[in-house]
C-alpha cells in the first residue's frame, strides 16, 4: 500500500474557521503552502510563510476572482502521477512543482439560495475552481490527500500528526470518497435551483387532477394531483384510494433500496415484513413470516417478476395491492381471481430531490434522504468487528430503518427483518417492542443485528440488546455519551458501527 509524505499543500477556503490550526501544524512541519487571495492574506496574518498561486502560474487572478486556480501549473501539480515517467518529464520540462495536499471548501451555494434572492449574487456562489481542484485531487488520491470540508480539519490533524505527516492509500481514498460525495451533493443543489422543479410539483392546480373517493377517513374529501400512469400500469382492481397511494409511495421508496431479489409488505407506511433471498417466493416467505397478522390487508411489492409459485402463495392472503415490474401470465390469472385486488406494474423508479409538507399557513421543503450510506462510509468503533454475514444484515437493516417512522428500531437476521418498533416516542420503547414482537412470532433474537434511525443518548438500549442476544448494532453516532454505548458493547462482546448518517422519518 503506497505511503505518501506530505511536503506541499494548496489551501483555498471560503470559510476560514478552523484553518489556522491546520496551517500552524503544516508550518511547524516545514511544509510549503500555496494559497489564493483572501486565504493567503489570512495565512500571512498568522505569520506563516505562504506562496501565492500567482507566483506559481505567472498569471494574476482575473474576472473579479472568477479565475484564480484554473491553470495547467496548478492542475499539473495535482494530477501528476509519481508512477508515470511521462508525467515526471512534463513536470520537469514545464517547472511544475508537486502538490500532495489540497484543502478546499466550496462557496456556500445552498445557503445563499436560502438567504439571498438576487440572481447575480446566487450565480456568483456557483464554485468552479474549487470543485475542479477537489475533483482533480480526489481523482489522483494515489498521490494527493484531498480535504473538502472544514468538518474534516480535526480528523485531518489527528491523521497527520499521529503518522508523522505520512499518509497511506486507504486514508487518501477515504478522503477522496468523501470529496466526490460532497461535490455530488453540491451539484444537486445547483441543479435544483436551475430546474426549479420543486416549485411546479405542488403548485399546478390543474395538472392531471383525480378526485379520490375520500381522504384518510370517509369524512375527508381528497384529490391526487399528478400522473400516476407515468409510474404504473394498473392491470386489475378498484381505483386507488388516498391511503392506498400513501402505502404505494412508501413501498416503492423502500424497494428501490435493494438490487437483490427482495419482497416487502407495507402496512400504514411501514414495512411489517421484508426479506431478500434467491427467488421471489422465498423472499415472500421471509416477508410474510415476519408478521403474518399485519400482512392482512397490506400492500405487497416485489423488485423481480412474480411467478406462478409466488402467486399461488400470495393468493391465500387477503391484501389490497401488489406491485411488481412484471408478472408471468399464469401468475396474473391467479392474482386476478379477487375482483377488487389492485395489481400494478411498476414502469420506473421515482428519484426526487426535494420533498414537501403542508403545515401551518405554509409548507416545509427539504432534500430527500437520498444519500448513499454503506460499509464504505461506516466507522467500526468497537473491539468486536462484524462478520461478513452481520455486515450484510446491518446494511439491510439500515436501509429498512431509513424508511420506518421515527423513533425506529429494526431487527434483522439472515436478510430478513424479524421485527421492528416504529413510531415510538422513546427509543427504549421501540427496542422493547421490537424484541417482544420478534419473540411472539417465534424468532430467535440471538445473532440478530439492530439498526437505529438515530443515536443512543445513553447506553441503555445497548444493554437491552446485549441481554436479548443481539450481536451487532448500527447507529449514526453523534451523542456526547457515545463512549458509554461503545463501552457497553465491548463489555458484552457486541460489534457496533457508526454510520454517520441520521435517518429521522416523520
Reply yes or no on whether 268 is catalytic: yes
Gap between the Cα atoms of 232 and 347, Å rounded: 5
Q: Kindly write down the DSSP assignment for every residue of 206-237, as one continuous string.
A: TTTEEEES-SSSTTS-EEEES-GGGTEEEEES
Gap between the Cα atoms of 428 and 9, Å rounded: 48
Q: Kindly write down the DSSP assignment for every residue of 121-168, as one continuous string.
A: HHHHTS-SHHHHHHHHHHHTTTT-EEE--GGGHHHHHHHHHTTTTEEE
CA angle 99, 103, 104 (to 5 degrees): 120
Place of cell 460499509: 375
Task: Return the C-alpha torsion angle 388, 392, 398, 400, nearest 10.
Answer: -160
Q: Specify the 3-state DSSP secondary structure of 18.
A: coil
**Cβ atoms within 10 Å, residue 239:** 11
Which is the catalytic residue, given 16, 51, 125, 139? 139
3-state SS of 241-301 is: CHHHHHHHHHHHHHHCCCCCCEEEEEECCEEEEEEECCCHHHHHHHHHHHCCCCCCCCEEE
| HSE-up of residue 244 (Cα within 13 Å, Cβ side) | 23
Question: What is the phi-psi region of residue 37: left when phi exceeds 0, alpha when psi lies from -120 to 50, beta otherwise?
Answer: left
* Chain mean position to CA 430: 23
Gap between the Cα atoms of 237 and 332, Å rounded: 12
CA angle 438, 443, 446 (to 5 degrees): 100
Gap between the Cα atoms of 201 and 356, Å rounded: 9
Question: What is the phi-psi region of residue 297: left when phi exceeds 0, alpha when psi lies from -120 to 50, beta otherwise?
Answer: left
Which is the catalytic residue, given 268, 304, 336, 338? 268
Run of H or E including 69? none
CA angle 64, 69, 73 (to 5 degrees): 140
Reply yes or no on whether 503 is catalytic: no
- The β-bridge relationship of strands 379-380 and 495-498 is antiparallel
Run of H or E including 38? helix 37-44
Query: At residue 299, what are phi and psi to the nearest 5 degrees?
Result: -110, 125
| HSE-up of residue 270 (Cα within 13 Å, Cβ side) | 21
Catalytic residues, by residue number, are: 139, 268
Amino acid at each position: 500500500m503506497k505511503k505518501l509524505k506530505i511536503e506541499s499543500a494548496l489551501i483555498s477556503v471560503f470559510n476560514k474557521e478552523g484553518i489556522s490550526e491546520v496551517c500552524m501544524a503544516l508550518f511547524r512541519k516545514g511544509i510549503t503552502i500555496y494559497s489564493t487571495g483572501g486565504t493567503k492574506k489570512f495565512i500571512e496574518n498568522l505569520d506563516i510563510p505562504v506562496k501565492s498561486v500567482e507566483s506559481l502560474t505567472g498569471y494574476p487572478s482575473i474576472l473579479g476572482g472568477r479565475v484564480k486556480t484554473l491553470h495547467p501549473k496548478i492542475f499539473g501539480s495535482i494530477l501528476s502521477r509519481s508512477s508515470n515517467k511521462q508525467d515526471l518529464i512534463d513536470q520537469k520540462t514545464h517547472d511544475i512543482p508537486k502538490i500532495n495536499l489540497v484543502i478546499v471548501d466550496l462557496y456556500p451555494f445552498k445557503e445563499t439560495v436560502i438567504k439571498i434572492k438576487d440572481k447575480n449574487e446566487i450565480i456568483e456562489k456557483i464554485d468552479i475552481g474549487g470543485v475542479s481542484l477537489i475533483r482533480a485531487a480526489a481523482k489522483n488520491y494515489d498521490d494527493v490527500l484531498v480535504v473538502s470540508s472544514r468538518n474534516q480539519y480535526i480528523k485531518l490533524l489527528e491523521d497527520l500528526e499521529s503518522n508523522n505527516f505520512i499518509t497511506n492509500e486507504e486514508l487518501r481514498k477515504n478522503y477522496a470518497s468523501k470529496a466526490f460525495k460532497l461535490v455530488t451533493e453540491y451539484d444537486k443543489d445547483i441543479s435544483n435551483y436551475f430546474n426549479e422543479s420543486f416549485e411546479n410539483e405542488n403548485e399546478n392546480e390543474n395538472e392531471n387532477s383525480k378526485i379520490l373517493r375520500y381522504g384518510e377517513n370517509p369524512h375527508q374529501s381528497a384529490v391526487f394531483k399528478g400522473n400516476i400512469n407515468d409510474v404504473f400500469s394498473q392491470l386489475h382492481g378498484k381505483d386507488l384510494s388516498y391511503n392506498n397511494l400513501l402505502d404505494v409511495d412508501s413501498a416503492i421508496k423502500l424497494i428501490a433500496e435493494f438490487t437483490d431479489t427482495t419482497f416487502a409488505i407495507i402496512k400504514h407506511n411501514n414495512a411489517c415484513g421484508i426479506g431478500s433471498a434467491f427467488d421471489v417466493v422465498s423472499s415472500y416467505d421471509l416477508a410474510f413470516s415476519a408478521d403474518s397478522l399485519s400482512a392482512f390487508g397490506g400492500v405487497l411489492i416485489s423488485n423481480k417478476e412474480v411467478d406462478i409459485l409466488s402467486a399461488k402463495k400470495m393468493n391465500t392472503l387477503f391484501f389490497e395491492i401488489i406491485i411488481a415490474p412484471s408478472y408471468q401470465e399464469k401468475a396474473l390469472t391467479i392474482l386476478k381471481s379477487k375482483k377488487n385486488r389492485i395489481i400494478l406494474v411498476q414502469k420506473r423508479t421515482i428519484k426526487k430531490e426535494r420533498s414537501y409538507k403542508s403545515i401551518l399557513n405554509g409548507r416545509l421543503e427539504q432534500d430527500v434522504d437520498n444519500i448513499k450510506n454503506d460499509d464504505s462510509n461506516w466507522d467500526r468503533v468497537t473491539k468486536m468487528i462484524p462478520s461478513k454475514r452481520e455486515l450484510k444484515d446491518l446494511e439491510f437493516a439500515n436501509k429498512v430503518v431509513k424508511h420506518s417512522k421515527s423513533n425506529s428500531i429494526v431487527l434483522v437476521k439472515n436478510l430478513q427483518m424479524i421485527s421492528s418498533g416504529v413510531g415510538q416516542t422513546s427509543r427504549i420503547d421501540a427496542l422493547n417492542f421490537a424484541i417482544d414482537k420478534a419473540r411472539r412470532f417465534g424468532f430467535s433474537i440471538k445473532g440478530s443485528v439492530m439498526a437505529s434511525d438515530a443515536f443512543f443518548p445513553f447506553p441503555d438500549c445497548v444493554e437491552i440488546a446485549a441481554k436479548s442476544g443481539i450481536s451487532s448494532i448500527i447507529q449514526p453516532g453523534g451523542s456526547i455519551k457515545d463512549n458509554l454505548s461503545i463501552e457497553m458493547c465491548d463489555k458484552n462482546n457486541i460489534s457496533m458501527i457508526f454510520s454517520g448518517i441520521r435517518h429521522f422519518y416523520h
